[in-house]
Structure 1
């Protein structure tokens, strides 16, 4: 469809938006691939339930299982404009852009070399994933990962086990946290009090 000639008012409106603009509206429809938002101001979309569209990764900094973990139909939202999708004549938005990034906050308060506590999420062939809180998951590599050598041997770890780790690297652009175990760390166990 030639949106520019079919919907000139919509096209002109979308062209007027600038990256970083804050737009408000109401969640009009939730699909498995994202969320349509009907704008408070501006023209309606001739085909879709909203002029704004939020893809799943832009809904939250946290891992979510479904869009309904974050928004509901009829909910009021404010989002940051990312880009004009000329193919669908939509404003691509980010809900999470208006929230603080928990990984940046973690990096700001946790220097490399700091010991912290975490909970083993799961063990895979490349290492152990550890939940550090606030949706931050770190990896204790058991072998070379992403070109980085293993930072410590990984013992058998059980999901749900609380362990002490050392932050060895935080890669903000790649959104990765690497960890190691303190020297001499052994599997921690609970000793019953008698």
Structure 2
């Protein structure tokens, strides 16, 4: 997304233009940039770097907003049990949204006490599931979960 700057470096064709890449628009998932901002809308961005190849400022809109993962990680802890919504099934496990915009991965081996070959054997997208937090990686913004540890009748 191109941004007309109130002040900033000259662009060879468009004076005072900055650029925001898709990942720098928002912490949340979105389909199109217009889900986040509209043409003509004024925004405040953080300067990331100057792109000498394209002669434009690289900007971030999301850097001006608190990171929801870090906010979640401040109150969550390994061992906490949560309920979440299954958002995706992948060959290595399942993704579960445990808080607004916070997804964690349940690895395949953590889906049940008995081995399963695919996540769809025990859960479905859209289903609610109890999980236990097994790790929080604040630097990489990753949350690992276990469904089996939340199941009654552990061995």
TM-score (norm 2): 0.85
Mark the CA change 1:113 to 1:49 in structure 2 (over 3 Å): closer, same or farther. Answer: farther
Aligned partners of 2:131 and 2:147 also within 8 Å: yes
Correspondence for 1:133 = 99
Match of 2:42 in 1: 76
- Of the three residues 84, 87, 91, the one matched with 2:57 is 91
- Cα distance change of structure 1 residues 89 and 43 upon mapping to structure 2, 3 Å threshold: closer
> Given the alignment of the two structures, is residue 65 of structure 1 paired with residue 19 of structure 2, yes or no?
no
Structure 2: distance between partners of 1:160 and 1:67: 25
- Note if contact 1:130-1:137 (Cα within 8 Å) is conserved in structure 2: yes
Higher relative contact order (CA 8 A, sep 6+): 2
Q: Secondary structure of the equivalent of 2:30?
A: coil
Alpha-carbon spacing, 1:73–1:50, altered in 2? closer, same or farther (3 Å)? farther
Q: Normalising by structure 1, what TM-score?
A: 0.68
Give a deviation string over 1:57-115, Cα, whole Å, max 9, x none.
Answer: 00000111111111111000100001011111111010000100000011111111100
1:30-79 Cα shifts (integer Å, max 9, x gaps): xxxxx111111246533247521100000000111111111111000100
**Where does structure 1 lack aligned partners over 5 or more consecutive residues?**
1-34, 143-149, 187-194
Q: Is the 8 A contact 1:38 1:44 kept in 2?
A: no
How many residue pairs get matched?
Answer: 145
Distance 1:184 1:94 in 2: 39
Q: CA RMSD in A?
A: 1.9
Greater displacement, 40-49 / 154-163: 40-49
Greater CA radius of gyration, 1 or 2?
A: 1
Pick from 35, 53, 77 the counterpart of residue 19 of structure 2.
53
